[in-house]
Structure 1
């Protein structure tokens, strides 16, 4: 896979994960103490998740030419956890603890082993 295609795959995966993180967890900030009915919150989240699919599907199709499905999934999970970590600290104003750092290191280790040839 060329460097350009890898860059686009990575960029599309990051953008898709930003949308999905907002779809799944953004409601915790806006609707936490709200009387908004749950079905409305779900519909709003689905609307946000639509854009996640608009980025994820092309990323998967591009990446599938060079990565195994398991490798692609592990890349996606690593990106997801980094995006979520940034989101939880900057958007939800939650603390980032040392045990999260160790967890992230383990996930990066999973990425390493997914691409290691034995």
Structure 2
């Protein structure tokens, strides 16, 4: 159960991270972002990133093996990176819509999945 809760929190955390890092690029034509200066954008992004941390920190604490969770440091980081790429790709497909997935993206994602397998494999 801790592992599942960790994954849910990491997914939600990455949604906020993606919005904080890239959302302002997509919504640059919205009325208030259009005229906002860089410091306003930074503060807006920090506000979104706050919610990323509200979920990321508990996810890592719950999921960490030494706190009773199922994951090691390497596994937590690998999961976070894989989730980050999935969330980012979904953001591009459903929100940005101007980027197209190409064969090299699929190959790269396949290699990332291979990396996840290697990290989790108990040799």
Task: Answer yes or no: same fold by TM over 0.5.
Answer: yes
How does the TM-score come out when normalised to structure 1? 0.92
Q: Which residue of 1 aligns with 2:15?
A: 18
Aligned residue pairs: how many? 115
Gaps of 5+ in 2: none
Gaps of 5+ in 1: none
CA distance in 2, matches of 1:62, 1:109: 25
CA distance in 2, matches of 1:50, 1:90: 24
Note the alpha carbon deviations across 1:24-83, whole angstroms, 9 max, x for none: 000011126933100000000000000000110110001112221111101100000000
- When the two chains are superposed, the root-mean-square deviation of aligned CA atoms in Å is 1.3
How does the TM-score come out when normalised to structure 2? 0.88
Superposed counterparts of 1:13-92, under 5 Å: 13-31=10-28, 34-65=34-65, 66-92=70-96
